[in-house]
Structure 1
Amino acid sequence: MAAASTDPAMRGAQRMSTAASVVAVCAAGSACALIASGSAALSMRAGLGQHASSLWMSALALAAMTSVPLLMARPASRHMTLASAATLIVTMSAMNALPAYLNGMQHGGVVAALMVAVGGALLCYWRRACACTASTRGHPDMQIEATRPVGAAALLALFAGLSSGTLARFQLYALCGSSGAQSCWQIALSLIAVCALACLVDRSRSSNNNSMMITLYIARAALIGALATLDDPALAPLAATFFLLLDCVTIPALATLRGGSQRVLSASCPGIAHHLGMVTGAALATTPYFFNDGFVVLFALSAAANLICAASLATHRRARKTPRRVAQLDHRFHRPAHSSS
């Protein structure tokens, strides 16, 4: 009777915790988009040179890739991939679209500064909302199995970043993976595609397998092979868009490959490793040899890196299933026989 009487109270507390998690996710996502786009607009109005603008946009992209998984790890542990991927694609799209729009306004600089200030206030509110969900962090449904160590996830993110960075031949802004301003319908389609892929990743993660991650890496290898074969500069916007979508899903998916108490502290690790890989790949792709005839060699190495990542995930998945299968067979053949009396 006592357990039954306290059950409604527990359900009410869980509903409040869920609502607080949703509010925290919305606050963190809005803060990232506002701060990144506002900072990009301020840098555009400052009249920085092309090189300085590229470095600044690269720094903003690094901040987004690093902070988004870290911010989403606390309030959205069950659907972290979806929340992080949606936030990343919205942030990257806002960084590309809003600065040009605000630059044409009379008081665009004031609006950009207000966006940064509002984003900072939302981050403060995010901390308070996360405190409301701290009591449910120990719930067994909120835990994620630690499937890979931090170093392995960072290496997978580094290879993915290298493959994206080598697309400097086909991208307008190689360092931050942008293809210029997009229309509203393009941004909406990108958001829908990223959310759909992220939902598939979350479902794959809930069933304790990495099938969707393996598919992402194989898709990367196939796209790079197609670009190397066609070698058409007109594919620049399409190539940049596809890999931006894949990057926005890959980084959060890699951040969820680890679980337990280390997840919040190391969720930003794939973002840093991925961006370092992008910078390295872009630097290689823009050298005289690799940017000319040697780009096929660089693309072949990038495709091979993605296939190595897919093979690593597949091997780990098979190795994890084998002990479970052996344990099931051992339990089946050694369980005690039931008494006939």
Structure 2
Amino acid sequence: MKGILLVNLGSPESPTAKDVKPYLDEFLMDERVIDVPKILRNILVRGIILQTRPKKSAKAYAKIWWEEGSPLIVLSERFTDKVRQQTEMPVALGMRYGTMSIKNALQELKDKGVDDVLLVPLYPHYAMSSYETVVVKTMEDQKEFFPEIKLTTLPAFYKNPDYIKVLSESIADGLRDFEYDHILFSYHGIPERHIRKSDPTKFHCKMDGHCCTTNSVAHHSCYRHQCYDTTESVKSYLGLPESKVSVSFQSRLAGDPWLKPYTDYEFERLAKEGKKRLAVITPAFVSDCLETLEEIAMEGKEQFEEAGGEHYTHIPCLNDNDAWVRVMANWVNTWKETGKLPA
């Protein structure tokens, strides 16, 4: 029997330092998130970061926490429930980090008689620290605990026409009552070295302003290229003016060059250039989470207004948008009937 495994990032159990600490430990000790030798990662994460970060992160989580729980978990569960209603296959939800583990989700599918699983990483773009780590972890758990289960993986869908359509129309809805001066596509940041490590050619990705627009097999695993590709596709679909759209990257750790331009710098730059009305979209995520609700919707608004901006709106992620649910249901049902995956 075929079944679907949806996997998102994960969340602490509560917005307290006690629960945030083990979550951050699992997340930051992932070799695809902080890709340094384990002994150095251990010193950096457990010797330095986890001494102060849990309290700070807990305060941030507390600002966005819902009565039902973590927004990312709640939204992912709502999305999963809606997909279940549009397919006859069992659908399970797992998280890369935290207690809602991938292993438990696979066990749930196995208990329902599933022996052929379509893994759906809920990330539109390929990156070591998001899409790839979900795939690797799922394959490890499948091999160790569920060798009888066949595993197929949905490819990154950053340029799929159905995804671009639903993303674009969601953005259009968010802009309907907002007369913008500028739209900022803010993607989650990653270290520049992750781009080079993911380059199968080992020479194409130079981040020099040309490699992302020069056709290459490297683009299949190049997060930077895929982010710009998504932006261009949405711009084309909505007919957005070139001069009113730009791309930036949010969230970074000090000490390493990460993808630029940095979102917080862009808030200041755009405001000082006279952009008074700014709309921000975060297409690296399909579900709103700490990075979108606190870092962008709250801190971003404050940073933009302090720099001279006057009106700011954060356009929500796709979340459990019915049109997005229909797209996912169509993808998984097509796989069930034909074995084909979306391009």
TM range (shorter): under 0.3
Structure 2 length-normalised TM? 0.22
* Structure with greater Cα Rg: 1
**Which of the pair has the greater relative contact order for Cα pairs under 8 Å at 6+ separation?**
1
Structure 1 length-normalised TM? 0.23
- Structure (1/2) with the larger strand percentage: 2
- Structure (1/2) with the larger helix percentage: 1
